[in-house]
Amino acid sequence: MRDVLNRMVLPEAVKKMVGSSNRIIFPETRDELIDIALGGKENDYFEVAYDVPGQEKVVEATVARCKNGLVVNYTDIYLRRRDPDSMVIADNEKTDKQTFVDKYGYEFDSLRDETFEWLENHDLIILPFMAGGSEFGYPMLLVAPANAGFFAAGLADLQGFIPCSQVKEGFKPRAVIYLAPTFRHTHFDGKQMVVHNRLDEVYELFSYNLYPGPSAKKGVYGVLLKIGEEEGWITLHGSTVKIGASGRREVVLMHEGASGGGKSEMTEHLVMDHDGKVKLGINRVTGEGLSIRLKEACSINPVTDDMALCHPKLQNESGKLMVMDAENGWFLRTDHITEYGTAPQLESLCMHPKEPLIFLNYDAVPGSTCLIWDHAMDAPGKPCPNPRVIMPRDRIEGNISEPVAVDIRSFGMRAPVCTKHKPTYGIIGLVHVLPPALAWVWRLVAPRGDNNPSITTRSKALTSEGVGSYWPFATGTKVAQANLLLEQIAGNPNTDYLLIPNQHIGAYRVGFNPQWIVREYLARNEGAVFAEDQLAESGCTLLGYKANYMEIDGSKIPEFMLDVAQQPEVGEEGFQKGAEILIQFFKDELEQYMTPELLPLGRRIVECIRNDGSLEELKSLL
């Protein structure tokens, strides 16, 4: 251990912990991490428990060793999903986020010292890794209590880790995650809380809960966004796939959007019946089903699942955005998998893995096989909406680790059912083409949409995820990110933009079928989005251009799925009422960006929206 410590340039706080703790673990292998998560190689079941002042021992989570991996379940249902209000900022740098002192009424320094003292009195895991990947990433550390081994193992699968023997001389962490679960009880009324402290020498991330979403996943994302804000680049919130159909040129499609917007689903394979039938949707009013037939599904080679690194060193002269995966593993949600056969490829990967996987929020006992359609129950008859499996990307067949040029960027949005009797913003057709200026506006507003399964707040009201749809994880200012996004779009003129809904198209329940159907269309057309005569202006300017007709393998998409106003259950009146909801929401959200810091081009685009400018006006701006 002393050898690895001598090779690292550690912050003073970590040096003191190393000197005070009775036992320090620097893991060498993944198998070692799996055993640590269970409290030892001989164990099949482990309780992650802590002594909390003023309470009896608190069991935060249980870990079971199953045939195909570790199954983690939280005793507090609240911990099974990310709390969108779990971030606070402790430092004095520029931020639009709530600060620690404003929220709690005292400076963070005293709690920081308490946290360090608590860690000094525990056996510790210290895990070095590279945020953003080994090639272009930045050195980071996790410092965690040893009995939270499942958290360390999960972070290692998500972000990768550097074995003890491979830590290079001069390893100096740009950021450190400090894990101290008991403080959510003693200081935060049981709530998830992650405190970001952006110091000059090191970015400190204090995770006061054991759900990895806000820290091991999105906390690391926040670190990359902060570095990118300083250096002038972005880590986008999107999944990327290279798709192709027989004998045709392959196309790279990136799908962005708020959590629940279909990013992970974009990497999944299309489900077809034996005769080629593919479900499109079911009418919520009449019960009528829609389907199309395909000869075969396109090939899919995944590139990114959630965090897409857009580092300037990746860019070339193609005029297209260049991206590569910023993560080592993917945090896949399987709430839509409710029975065997729903997603055969993913089911096979999870049931017969080459190495044990890490599962969260599933009903499984030691020695059993964890089944990804067997979700833990939040209450009798109420399955947890956020079951997750951490899938190391090297387990996924055909995954691409190299940078790719993005031909098309699509944006996904959860849409509610819409009818003339109950009009909503669920007026988006199967696919819309957006001019670049409008694509930027959608990324500024980033509607979270209907009934989001990924976070604790589930609302049918229209809300914003924030700029880029990654704003919940950013620590700086919205306008700074808005400018970076605008410069990125303007600097890559050969990348096209689409808008794709999920869950509903007007009166039809569609799930994630729209993005899978559009993916098939693009693969067969080699990325040529639409012929000129296929497009017409939508009845709502924010939706850009609609498709007049669309055909895949001889199967025609009904026109009422391309233009919701043509659905008799919605009609023109219902469509326009929905458009009014959407337009007003966008206008309200865009007001916050009209500051002196916004680029002049951005101001002109926002003013065009505010003044009900035409689609042609928006198109001419960028």
Question: Hey, which residues does 142 pair with through a beta bridge?
Answer: 127, 177
**Residue 55: how many CB atoms within 10 A of its CB?**
11
Question: How buried is residue 341: exposed, middle or buried, by Cβ count under 10 Å (0-12/13-18/19+)?
Answer: exposed
DSSP code string of 490-547: HT-TT-EEEEEEEEEETTEEEETHHHHHHHHHHHHTTT----GGGEEE-SSGGG-EEE
Q: Tokens for 297?
A: 């599904």
Residue 135 DSSP SS3: coil
Instruction: Look at the alpha carbons of 304, 249, 517, 542 in this order and tell me if their dihedral is positive or negative.
Output: positive
Please state, as a whole number, how many other Cβ atoms lie within 10 Å of the Cβ of residue 95: 17
Residues of the chain with pLDDT under 70: 1-2, 451-460
Q: Are 450 and 415 in contact (CB under 8 A)?
A: yes
Q: How far apart are CA 281 and CA 430, in angstroms?
A: 11
Q: Look at residue 456 in the predicted model and tell me its pLDDT.
A: 55
* Closest CA relative to residue 602, chosen from 484, 462, 475, 431: 484
Is 375:387 a contact under the CB 8 Å cutoff? yes
How distant, in Å, are the alpha carbons of 83, 207, 309, 486, 541 from that of 212? Answer: 11, 9, 20, 31, 39
d(CA 281, CA 86): 36
* Rounded Cα–Cα distance for residues 195 and 581 (Å): 35
pLDDT of residue 549: 95
β-strand partners of 124: 24, 145
Contact present, 410 and 321 (Cβ < 8 Å) = no
- Indicate the pTM of the whole model: 0.93
Q: What stretch of H or E contains 139?
A: strand 138-145
CA distance 101 to 154: 31
30-37 and 149-159 are packed helices; what angle lies between their axes, rounded to 10 degrees? 150
Kindly list the structural domains of the chain, giving each domain's residue range(s) and its CATH number in brackets, ordered by start. Answer: 2-34+85-231 (3.40.449.10), 274-293+410-621 (3.90.228.20)
